[in-house]
A and B are shown apart, each in its own frame.
Chain A
Amino acid sequence: QVQLVESGGGLVKPGGSLRLSCAASGFTFSDYYMSWIRQAPGKGLEWVSYISSSGSTIYYADSVKGRFTISRDNAKNSLYLQMNSLRAEDTAVYYCARDYIAVAAFDIWGQGTMVTVSS
């Protein structure tokens, strides 16, 4: 069964850090580009970051550049998002998603993990 399972969300104070993980199963993880996409409560989708299949190419949204770091471990079938200097506006459900054919078509999504930044 093809699936993605996120973990690592929680409540953190402004300025704090959190590391999200996404475990992939049921497909050859190393063949696919992956992304993190978030959704603030009651809001629309916002793309956060993108990593190529080998990890050699990475992109970030301007809103997180310099604060967030995406990475992957193909041997462990896992995707990560290290989030530093967190702000209240980073509060959202964070989804990891598989890019079907490397054209920003996300065909597999995790269930999401909630990150709340609040004092």
Chain B
Amino acid sequence: QSVLTQPPSVSAAPGQKVTISCSGSSSNIGNNYVSWYQQLPGTAPKLLIYDNNKRPSGIPDRFSGSKSGTSATLGITGLQTGDEADYYCGTWDSSLSAHVVFGGGTKLTVL
């Protein structure tokens, strides 16, 4: 069971908007920056969002991130079939010993 909780799956039609939630605690999301990753089938993960809401160079502004308290959210607008992938949130956790934690992943289906 993952330290960060994500819904197993979400779905939406092309062109629509979808949000993916990531719930944690004060030892991780509540006091650290959140990152989001996209993993297309058979490939390595790709950084989409860092520092809660910043996009690396080359990531379209259709992808957005936000954080409130101990939860974070990834938003994707103008859905495309190419967005079908697994999405993961991640952050530091400073509970007993410093370590990195990820959510269990959310499978996005673009109907």
Contact = CB atoms under 8 A, between A and B. Distances in A.
Main secondary structure, interface of B, reads strand
Interface stretch (B14-22, B66-74, B75-83, B84-92): B84-92
B45 A106 contact: yes
B110 interface: no
Contacts of A112: 44
A5 B20 CA distance: 31
Interface of A: 35, 37, 44-47, 50, 59-62, 95, 100-101, 103-107, 109-112
Interface of B: 2, 32-33, 35, 37, 39, 44-47, 50-51, 56, 86, 88, 90-92, 97-105
Given A104-B32, A104-B91, A109-B44, A47 B99 contact: yes
B44 A111 contact: yes
B47 A107 contact: yes
B99 A61 contact: yes
B45 A100 contact: no
A47 B101 contact: yes
Contact of A105 (B50, B86, B104, B105): B50
The 5 A-B pairs with the shortest beta carbon distances in the complex, nearest first, are A105-B50, A47-B100, A109-B44, A44-B105, A105-B35
A26 to B, nearest CB: 15
A101 B33 CA distance: 11
